[in-house]
């Protein structure tokens, strides 16, 4: 079981600042089935909310597992060819095979299990996993929530500061335009508070 061959590299090409595309297919052998992540499959690597990126960046030792999981969720589970619970189990197994530390992979697994609740047929098999999900969640929250709250506050402060800095730059650019003087482009900030 595992990635075939084991030293498979994940080769991707940037599509947008948050989406990437697989440019070289790769395989993962499960207990029974072979899963082929095809060329053109899109990924955002690990879908980690910004407030937790300090703990789990979007990419790392688990990158291939995250790309595989995106394929399983976006194609097989979305089309009803696989249950979400099985896709999440393969993510956890693939992370173990890639050497992702125990608690980190279980936290990532619990996060995707909670997210599956919002998917069509995502509740199938949910109740049998609730004890493990709750245990992992309760163990992780004391470590994750306090820093996440600080990060959330500073993300908001940053948005305010960025907007405050942009205003005089934009006014200066408008004045230079009226005077016919050369100026640099002033790029407006993206004022969106996504956690």
Q: What is the pLDDT, as a whole number, of residue 195? A: 65
Q: Does residue 137 fall inside a structural domain?
A: yes
Domain tally, the chain: 1
pLDDT, residue 120, reads: 81
Q: Tell me phi and psi for residue 153, to 5 degrees.
A: -60, -45
Distance CA 181, CA 74 (A): 51
Residue 132: inside a domain: yes
Contact 94, 3 (CB under 8 A): yes
**H helix runs in the chain, sequence order:** 63-71, 84-97, 102-116, 126-179
User: In a structure prediction context, what are the per-residue pLDDT tens digits for the chain, which is 195 residues long?
Assistant: 899 998 999 999 999 989 999 999 999 999 999 999 999 999 999 999 999 999 999 999 999 999 999 999 999 999 999 999 999 999 999 999 999 999 999 999 999 999 999 988 888 888 899 999 999 999 999 999 999 999 999 999 999 999 999 999 999 999 999 999 998 888 888 766 666
> pTM higher than 0.85, yes or no?
yes
- Domain range for 16 is 2-143
What is residue 193's predicted lDDT score, i.e. its pLDDT? 63
174 lies in some domain: no
Q: Judge whether 178 lies within some domain.
A: no
Select from 7, 121, 3 the least CA-distant residue to 69: 3
Torsion (CA) 63, 66, 71, 77 in degrees, nearest 10: 170
Structure tokens at 24: 């070289």
Residues 113 and 86: their CA atoms lie apart, in Å, by 10
Would residue 150 count as lying in a domain? no
Does some domain include residue 108?
A: yes
- Does 25 map to a domain? yes
pLDDT of residue 124: 86
Distance CA 67, CA 46 (A): 8
Residue 119 lies in a domain: yes
């Amino acid at each position: 079981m595992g990635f075939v061959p084991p030293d498979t590299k994940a080769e991707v090409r940037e599509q947008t600042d948050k989406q990437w595309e697989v440019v070289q297919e790769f395989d993962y052998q499960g207990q029974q089935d072979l899963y082929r992540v095809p060329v053109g499959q899109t990924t955002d690597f690990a879908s980690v909310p910004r407030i937790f990126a300090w703990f789990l960046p979007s990419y790392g030792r688990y990158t291939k597992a995250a790309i595989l999981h995106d394929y399983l969720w976006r194609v097989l589970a979305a089309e009803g060819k696989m249950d979400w619970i099985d896709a999440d189990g393969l993510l956890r197994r693939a992370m173990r095979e890639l050497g992702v530390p125990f608690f980190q992979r279980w936290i990532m697994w619990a996060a995707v299990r909670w997210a599956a609740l919002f998917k069509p047929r995502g509740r199938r098999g949910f109740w049998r996993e609730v004890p493990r999900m709750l245990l992992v969640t309760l163990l992780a929250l004391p470590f994750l929530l306090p820093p996440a709250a600080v990060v959330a506050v500073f993300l908001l402060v940053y948005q305010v500061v960025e907007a405050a800095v942009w205003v005089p730059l934009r006014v200066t650019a408008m004045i230079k335009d009226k005077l016919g003087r050369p100026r640099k482009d002033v790029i407006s900030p993206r004022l969106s508070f996504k956690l």
